[in-house]
């Protein structure tokens, strides 16, 4: 709507989190819990992450399948929400291209964590704090959303950059595939455009990973054509994280 985004810093006391609050349409930033997160969570990719939750809230409204008594969220639509926030949070870094904050496919690398990042897109399972997963299985719907987010984050990275070992900027990546077959990336610009169109045109509150595959294929067809290399790469990138037409669960 052309208005600037609002944010509240120093939220709460020893809050190791930042989040989008749909009630105020704003971002809330904690200063860290002093244990795992020792710095305020105001870094650029986290900001992009939280703003993306606002975009999701205004479009697909992806919702967790269930929430436990402690407030932890589970299920594929919620995992997809977290994944898109990481994907576009990373894209914000690449767009800004700040030499003092070099862009990469890591999320929260400036938060001072012992593992050097909060999450990452190339091989999500390297995140041992949240137990992220690299590939889909029927158990994905029971995963906590930050852990489950690895499935679609990994698919996006493979679509953008491809599989295997490579160095982009100062970071070395080595992205594996479920079936061992390689994936050739189509570039970050086209991959991001496909995921954004899929979110804003084809996803709904209950979209799961297999639905997201269909949504991104539709978006790739819209943008580049059904016979394009981009369309074929989208299909291949999802197969590389074990999301295929053949293993789509029955409803």
- Please identify which of the residues 50, 130, 144, 161 carries the catalytic annotation: 50
Q: Look up 50 and say whether it is catalytic.
A: yes
Quote helix, strand, coil % in the chain, to nearest 5.
Answer: 40, 10, 45
Copy the structure tokens of residue 33: 């819990």
Identify the active-site residue in 76, 93, 130, 146: 146
- The closest of 224, 135, 242, 149 to 186, measured between CA atoms, is 224
203 contacts 212 by C-beta, under 8 angstroms: yes
Burial class of residue 180 in the structure, from the number of CB atoms within 10 Å of its CB (0-12 exposed, 13-18 middle, 19+ buried)? exposed
In the chain, alpha helices (H): 44-58, 76-96, 145-148, 150-161, 188-197, 209-224, 229-239
Name which of 193, 220, 223 is nearest 88 in CA terms.
Answer: 193
Backbone phi, psi, residue 186, to 5°: -110, 0
The question of whether 146 is a catalytic residue gets the answer yes
**11, 59 in Cβ contact below 8 A?**
no
For 64, half-sphere exposure in the C-beta direction (CA atoms, 13 angstrom radius) is: 17
Catalytically active residues, by annotation: 50, 146
């Amino acid at each position: 709507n052309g208005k600037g985004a609002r944010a509240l810093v120093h939220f709460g006391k020893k809050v190791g989190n930042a989040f989008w609050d749909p009630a105020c349409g704003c971002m809330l930033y904690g200063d860290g819990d002093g244990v795992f997160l020792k710095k305020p969570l105001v870094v650029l990719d986290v900001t992009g992450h939280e703003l993306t939750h606002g975009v999701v809230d205004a479009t697909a409204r992806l919702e967790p399948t269930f929430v436990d008594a402690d407030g932890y969220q589970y299920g594929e639509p919620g995992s997809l929400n977290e994944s898109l926030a990481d994907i576009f949070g990373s894209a914000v870094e690449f767009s800004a291209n700040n030499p003092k904050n070099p862009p990469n496919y890591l999320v929260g690398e400036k938060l001072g964590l012992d593992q050097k990042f909060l999450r990452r897109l190339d091989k999500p399972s390297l995140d041992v704090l949240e137990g992220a997963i690299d590939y889909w299985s029927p158990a994905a719907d029971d995963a906590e959303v930050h852990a489950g987010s690895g499935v679609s984050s990994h698919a996006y990275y493979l679509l953008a950059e491809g599989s295997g070992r490579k160095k982009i900027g100062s970071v070395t990546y080595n992205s594996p595939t479920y079936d061992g077959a390689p994936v050739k990336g189509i570039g970050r610009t086209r991959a991001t455009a496909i995921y954004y169109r899929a979110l804003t045109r084809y996803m709904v509150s209950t979209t799961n990973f297999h639905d997201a595959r269909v949504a991104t294929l539709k978006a790739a067809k819209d943008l580049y054509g059904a016979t394009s290399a981009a369309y074929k790469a989208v299909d291949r990138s999802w197969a590389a994280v074990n999301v295929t037409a053949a293993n789509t669960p029955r409803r």
